[in-house]
Amino acid sequence: MTSIVRMLAVAAVIATLGAAPASAQHVNLQPTYGTITLRTGFEPDPTVVAVQSGGNINANTINSSCAGFIADAPDVRLQFTAGSLPLIISVASQSDTTLIVNGPDGRWYCDDDGGQNMNPSLRFDHAASGQYDIWIGTYGASSLQNAQLNVSELTSQ
C-alpha cells in the first residue's frame, strides 16, 4: 500500500468519525440544579427540587425510546445509597414533561408517561447505589417550563 493510499484511508476514517452524531448528553457536566445525596429511609420523602424543564437537544438521540427536548448538562444529580425499598423518580408540572435518567449501571431510562398524563415517573424496584443523572424534558425545543423533580421511596404518594 503506497503512502498516498494510506493517507487517503486514514482521511476517510477521520471523516467518518467526524460525521458521527454528537452525544446529546454530558454526564460529566455539573448539574444545573445541583446534586442531592440520599440514603435509603431519607426524609423528607419525597425530596423535591424545583427545576426548569426542557432544552434544545432532542432526547431521542440518546435512545429512540426517549422523547422530548433536554439540556446538555443533567438537571439534577442524585447520589443514592440503596436499601430494600424502591427508588421512584418523578416529575410534577403543569406542562407535558419527559424524564430521562442515566443510572449507576450506565443505562438510559426514559419515560414520557405514554400520553396518559403530563407527569412521567421511573420506578427502580431494586435500585442500585450510585449516581443517577436526571434530565427533565419538554416537547418544545424553545420552551422552558416550571417543574419539580420528586425523589421518593414511598410506593403510594
Sign of the alpha-carbon dihedral angle for 71, 73, 79, 80: positive
Domains of the chain: 24-152 (2.60.120.380)
Cα angle 110-67-49, degrees, rounded to a multiple of 5: 60
pLDDT of 77 reads 98
Please list the pLDDT of the chain residue by residue as tens digits (157 residues): 444 434 333 333 333 333 333 344 567 789 999 999 999 999 999 999 999 999 999 999 988 889 999 999 999 999 999 999 999 999 999 988 999 999 999 999 999 865 567 899 999 999 999 999 999 999 877 778 999 999 999 976 5
H or E element that contains 7: helix 3-18
- CA dist 113 and 144 (Å) reads 19
Virtual torsion, Cα 35, 36, 40, 44, nearest 10 deg: -160
Sign of the alpha-carbon dihedral angle for 125, 87, 135, 46: positive
pLDDT of 108 reads 95
pLDDT of 63 reads 87
Report the length, in residues, of the chain. 157
pLDDT of 115 reads 58
pTM as predicted: 0.81
